[in-house]
Amino acid sequence: MKGAAVVAGCLLAGMAQAAQVTDPVQVTGGRIVGTAADGVNVFKGVPFAAPPVGQLRWRAPQPVVPWQGVKTAQAYAPACAQTAAWIPDPKSEDCLYLNVWAPAQARKLPVIVWIHGGGYYGGTGAQPGYDGGNLARRGVVVVTINYRLGIFGFFAHPELTAESPDKASGNQGMEDQVAALRWVRQNIAAFGGDPARVTIMGESAGGESVAVLVASPLAKGLFQRAISQSGNFAMPIDASENALFDRTAAEQAGVAFTRAVGAKRLADLRALPVAALQKPAWAPHPIVDGHLLREDLTTTYRNHRQNDVPLLAGWNAEEGKDLAPEILGTDKFTAASHKALVAKLLGHAPSTAVLATYPGATDAEARASIDRLTTDWWGWRTWYWAALQAQYGQARPYLYYFTHRPTEPLTPCGYGCGAGHGAEIQYVFDHLGQDPRPWSAYDRQLAARLADTWASFARTGTPNGKGLPDWPAFDGRPATILRIGDAADLQARGRLPDFSLFGETGKH
């Protein structure tokens, strides 16, 4: 969602020492050079697939186009073509590039591949808040990636399905993520990374992408751990949601879109400029295409078809105020509309118990309840997913609940405020220095601890390590959910919701 993709702050004004050019590195397609400073080698704008333009628009990602000589990889590539105004230009269809941060003299270090959020319609791996330098200094190689977005990344059409060797369409952005992971497997050793210790990690749509990749047969063997922050919405968690992700329905929506832009066939669509294709509204998300994604999550786990890797997942205590307007398509939460909006959020008529727990007798009560319900329902979906792994998997899941309200910013906050959507990102990347607010000592301690914890998980498959708080494996019980925050945070926001209101694993 948008909160994960809002630019987290200004680029750092400078480095402690002047950047130097790295030695050339051989990767798929040719040799590249990056920059070296403060003990970290950085490579930006490295191609991992051919530009998906012209006749390659909407096709599965194709092999990198080789180049002659040494390519300078010292500047970010454009963001993928998108309608998100909060991502600055340049934006382009030619966007399948990634970025690498590696400690100098790295040898067989664990790798984290970051998948950005942005509701599948916005974002880029080049956002300042995703700079991998501080994680790399903890002995991790960090990769951030771009993937096709919006109409270019999640568009199904009968002609596309027919021309595909896999007889599938609609998940181009997800296939880009798989292509990036294949590039990592083939090339990361050249940067000092260990291709046998790759962690996929993302937030919001990136966290949902992690859920899809864990369930996808195409991603088998491409990663060994998974971290999902505030994700698992755009993914059918059981058979009751399959209709929302149906390929036939997605193809029909593609045909309707084709007519709406005045085209008749796929060739006409490929001839249209980017701006023309971005005019109609489009709701991008992964679908069950029979190829990248074959079924709902519950069916996958019950049949032990997931990529069975250690999982670290969680959500924040105040997601709803950011997510409810996006999910429900309105910010008008009134007593009169309350029951209908609750039903729309849940996908079915609410029970008496749900309405009693989240009442809406007045407009103020309805607003507060929708915010809280959205947060709790979001958390339940994450809890459900982790419980599936605990019940049907061999690898251990770890679940967190982020309750901390960061120090107030110097200017009014509009999105992701408090313990809102994306609030944890600046802690996980240890990037409080990008924001000039007067951070507390606890803020700084928490950022160091969470970055250390995430790095430990990438290194060993467990978030536990020397000097870190004990984090039990999640087994379905609330006591095994790690609540992140100080005493005041836990007192104000640490109470977990009653997940039985929404369903239980295997019984939803």
Mind telling me the catalytic residues? 204, 319, 421
Residue 232's SS3 state is coil
Q: Which two tokens stand for residue 441?
A: 């000592």
Question: Which letter, b or e, does each residue of 13-45 get, where b requires 16 or more Cβ atoms within 10 Å of its Cβ?
Answer: eeeeeeeeebeebebbbbbbbbbbbeebbbbbb
Contacts of 439 (CB under 8 A, 6+ apart): 406, 407, 432
| Alpha-carbon gap, residue 121 to 117, rounded angstroms | 9
| Contact yes or no for 206/226 (Cβ under 8 A) | no
d(CA 410, CA 412): 7
Cα-only R_g, the chain: 22
What does the block give as tokens for 22? 């790295």
Q: Are 208 and 287 in contact (CB under 8 A)?
A: no
Instruction: Report how far residue 347's alpha carbon sits from residue 380's, in angstroms, rounded to the nearest whole number.
Output: 14
Would you tell me the crossing angle of helices 338-346 and 363-392 to the nearest 10 degrees? Answer: 20
Q: Evaluate the omega torsion of the peptide bond into residue 409 and state whether it is cis, within 30 degrees of 0.
A: no
DSSP state of 247: H
139: left (phi over 0), alpha (psi -120 to 50) or beta: left
Separation CA 179–CA 163 (nearest Å): 19
- CA 479/CA 441 separation, integer angstroms: 27
- What CA–CA distance (Å, rounded) separates 380 from 45? 37
CA angle 401/9/146 to nearest 5° reads: 75
Sheet containing 25-27, strands listed edge to edge, beginning at the edge strand earlier in sequence: 25-27, 30-33, 70-72
Listed residue (70, 9, 5, 83) closest to 410, CA to CA: 9
What pairs with residue 402 in β-bridges?
A: 316, 484
